[in-house]
Amino acid sequence: VAVPGAVCVAMPGAVRVAVRALCLAALLSALGAAGTELTLELPDSDRRCFHQELESGIKFTLDYQVISGGHYDVDCYVEDPNGKTIYQETKKQYDSFPHHTEVKGVYTFCFSNEFSTFSHKIVYFDFQVGDEPPILPDMNNRVTALTQMESACVTIHEMLNSVIDSQTHYRLREAQDRSRAEELNGRVSYWSVGETLILFVVSIGQVMLLKSFFTEKRPSSGGAGT
């Protein structure tokens, strides 16, 4: 796979094998650090809550976006184990909430569509817990410079993360645009059916009106006596 910005250098076979192994380990590390992603349907006048037990001093990030339904908005709030609301937003289309936990326990985050009485929503969220582990052992504590192979693997790892984020963004945009296109197609179809019925009624009315103009009126049968 060609990676933009990467420099290709001729290397012996053993070095190429080492680079491939190191890059494979970096890719597995990136996959292992992924959080929870979920797309859920949120009916009208309903609320969905999720719970996660976390240790104190841990960072978590909640990203969410409304894909379809209504005005593409939803209420969201997050509570700590003591019931304190640490995040609350109303009628948001999308948002990101990073936070460092202060107490240990079960954290709750909810999505609410209770303000809507007829529109269903589809909501996507990504819940990431903790920081991403270093791609190389003791990378944060090293005092020496990275080798060429290590630098190349770090660059590839960062590019892979960027590609994953871009794919998620475009996938959500594609789902949102498809939902809008289907909604527009439904409105056009209903309008076309309505126009067809109106034209049918008008055509029948015109035919009956023209027919009444050319209908011959016969004289009455009763005549005067002789």
Per-position pLDDT tens, the chain of length 226? 333 333 333 334 443 433 344 444 444 444 444 468 888 899 988 999 999 999 898 899 999 999 888 888 999 999 999 999 999 999 998 899 999 999 999 999 999 999 988 888 999 999 988 876 666 666 666 656 667 777 787 788 788 878 887 887 888 788 778 878 888 898 899 999 999 999 999 999 988 888 887 776 666 655 554 4
pLDDT at 167: 84
> Measured between alpha carbons, how far is 88 from 84 in angstroms, rounded to an integer?
11
- What pLDDT was estimated at residue 195? 93
DSSP 33: T
Predicted local distance difference test score (pLDDT) of residue 5: 36
Report the C-alpha gap between 23 and 42 in whole angstroms.
Answer: 40
pLDDT of residue 110: 94
In the prediction, which pLDDT does 213 show? 79
Task: Please give the structure tokens belonging to residue 186.
Answer: 């439904």
Q: CB under 8 Å to 183, separation ≥6 — which residues?
A: 68
pLDDT for position 212: 82
pLDDT of residue 147: 76
How many CB atoms lie under 10 A from the CB of residue 69? 21
pLDDT at position 25: 42
Fold of 36-131: Jelly Rolls (2.60.120)
102 phi, psi to nearest 5 deg: -105, -25
Quote the DSSP letter at residue 70: T
Distance CA 80, CA 108 (A): 7
Strand order in the sheet with 36-42: 36-42, 121-129, 59-68, 94-100
